[in-house]
Amino acid sequence: MRNRNHVPWTGILVFGFAITTLAQEAVPLRQKPFDQLVQSLVQLGADALAVDDAAQARAAFNQLLAVGRETSRVDLVWQAQHGLGRAAIAAHDPLMAIEHLEQSVAAYEQSGDTSPTTPYRSLTTALMMQSSSPTDQFVERAFDAAARARAGQSARLRSRADLAAALRTGDMVVAVLVGDRHAHAWAFDRSTLIGYRCRHQQKSPPLSSASPPTPRGRIAQACSESPTISCPPCSVL
């Protein structure tokens, strides 16, 4: 004999399953416009930076920053601040660039992101742009940012002071960081660090062996051996 008491429960269970299925399918439908918005803003900002349109890049990345903050997406916040920093570099405003990029670095490290794109290289460029002397604090900070750019955020770095202390009298270390548009070089011994911005240009002839082994001469030699840039001349900030 059929038990009719089971029929309503079956209908409820089926109806409940239908609600669950619709809810699961509705999530990506709600996310899709959001993802498209994010990708659109990132692309708009990147396209503007490619042609040095700082104003258009700022507009796109400011919108991305607002979206990241409203949704508590730390990954979007650091990307937006990175874009705003690069826009400030394009506008030749290194102080503003440093402000955005330091916030980008803080958010990037908080996010735990392991992508190869990081804000450290851009921060290096902004600090070197702000430098007014080969030995000022911005050069030192830029060297530290460049070291982080090469090593990644998860690496444990030795400080420059520790590296310098391990050098013998007369030893000198030369480091070069080369990007698509900017290149920088540093040299340090036991007591002094100097840094220069190097200009992208046609490869110059090798330095003669008679070149004096000064810090600038060492940097010039390192730059001249790079496949991307050549020094001299290096521009002292």
16 and 77 housed in the same domain: yes
Give the per-residue pLDDT at 15. Answer: 39
Give the per-residue pLDDT at 151. Answer: 79
- Tell me the whole-structure pTM to 2 decimals: 0.71
Structural domain including 233 reads: 158-237
Task: Give a yes or no: residue 99 inside a domain.
Answer: yes
Task: Give a yes or no: residue 87 inside a domain.
Answer: yes
16 and 124 housed in the same domain: yes
**Number of other CB atoms surrounding residue 147 within 10 Å:** 20
Task: Give a yes or no: residue 147 inside a domain.
Answer: no
Q: Give the total number of structural domains in the chain.
A: 2
108 and 170 housed in the same domain: no
67 and 28 housed in the same domain: yes
Give the per-residue pLDDT at 159. Answer: 83
Give the per-residue pLDDT at 177. Answer: 87
With helix as H, strand as E and coil as C, how does the chain read? Answer: CCCCCHHHHHHHHHHHHHHHHHHHHHHHHHHHHHHHHHHHHHHHHHHHHHCCCHHHHHHHHHHHHHHHHHCCCHHHHHHHHHHHHHHHHHCCCHHHHHHHHHHHHHHHHHHCCCCCCCCHHHHHHHHHHHCCCCCCHHHHHHHHHHHHHHHCCCCCCCCHHHHHHCCCCCCCEEEEEECCCCEEEEEECCCCEEEEEECCCCCCCCCCCCCCCCHHHHHHHHHHCCCCCCCCCEECC
Which CATH number goes with the domain that contains 63?
Answer: 1.25.40.10
24 and 108 housed in the same domain: yes
Task: Give a yes or no: residue 13 inside a domain.
Answer: yes
128 and 14 housed in the same domain: yes
231 and 174 housed in the same domain: yes
Give the per-residue pLDDT at 214. Answer: 54
Task: Give a yes or no: residue 177 inside a domain.
Answer: yes
Give the per-residue pLDDT at 32. Answer: 54
pLDDT (tens place) for every residue of the chain, 237 residues total: 555 555 444 444 443 444 444 344 444 434 558 899 999 999 999 999 999 999 999 999 999 999 999 999 999 999 999 999 999 999 999 999 999 999 999 999 999 887 777 899 999 999 999 999 999 999 999 999 998 888 765 556 788 888 899 999 989 999 888 877 888 999 999 999 999 888 654 444 443 444 445 555 555 554 444 433 333 333 332
Give the per-residue pLDDT at 180. Answer: 75
Of 230, 231, 197, nearest to 217 by C-alpha is 231
